[in-house]
Amino acid sequence: MEAILEASKDPDYPAEISLVLSDNMDAKGLDTASENGITATAVPRKDYDSKADHEAAIDQAINSAGADFVVLAGYMRILSPEFVSRHNGRLLNIHPSLLPRHKGLDTHARAIKAGDERHGCSVHFVNAEMDGGAIIARSSLPIEAADTPETLASRVLKLEHKLYPQAIAAVARGDITLENGELKISGNLSPQADGTVAFP
């Protein structure tokens, strides 16, 4: 979130943050947002009788903020298919692996255990399948012999901090859209052989 916030401070950045929302009242990001003059809201799951009620409250906060896109950054709850459908084509996530490899948790340990030569992160549109939406872009690095899950996570995090703001900007500009579940690329961007975008 802080990397996105810093990127958005550039006058040429095509998006601004209208709301930072968390289901954790103690999330550091809420304080960081407030300190930067951004509306910060906690919507704790425990305050609602059902997942549907909780997501309705999240929707209300998003709509009140006038947000055009919803960007997940460290949000560790699985969203319902209904929520995802309501925000279809406007809901982005970043995942610490080279999707479609290593969906879910513990990606760094799994990449090392699998003997992968490269590892990294992927930005994707969110659909009802966990980490299964159309992939916008990936960024990778070689796995080194001395890597542990912790060192690899630290190195991949640096990639995430660069890739996510770039992907968000491209979506905000309209250069990347989702149509019938497929990525559509326009503007000055062109698809790679795997259909994703490579940013400079």
Q: What is the pLDDT of residue 188?
A: 84
Catalytic residue flag (residue 95): yes
Query: What DSSP designation does 49 have?
Result: S
The answer to whether the peptide bond before residue 200 is cis (omega within 30 degrees of 0) is no
Task: Report which of 39, 49, 93 is spatially closest to residue 71, judged by C-alpha positions.
Answer: 93
Q: 3-class SS at 134?
A: coil
Given the residues 54, 95, 102, 108, select the one marked as catalytic: 95
pTM for the complete prediction? Answer: 0.95
- Which pLDDT tens digits describe the chain residue by residue (200 residues)? 999 999 999 999 999 999 999 999 999 999 999 999 999 999 999 999 999 999 999 999 999 999 999 999 989 899 999 999 999 999 999 999 999 999 999 999 999 999 999 999 999 999 999 999 999 999 999 999 999 999 999 999 999 999 999 999 999 999 999 999 999 998 889 899 999 998 87
Q: Please check whether residue 137 is in contact with residue 169, taking contact to mean a CB–CB distance below 8 angstroms.
A: no
CA torsion through residues 9, 11, 13, 15, sign = positive
CA distances to 38, 84, 97, 113, 119 from 195, in Å: 35, 23, 17, 28, 18
**What domains can be seen in the chain, in order of their start residue?**
70-200 (3.40.50.170)
Q: What is the pLDDT of residue 76?
A: 86
Q: Please check whether residue 94 is in contact with residue 163, taking contact to mean a CB–CB distance below 8 angstroms.
A: yes
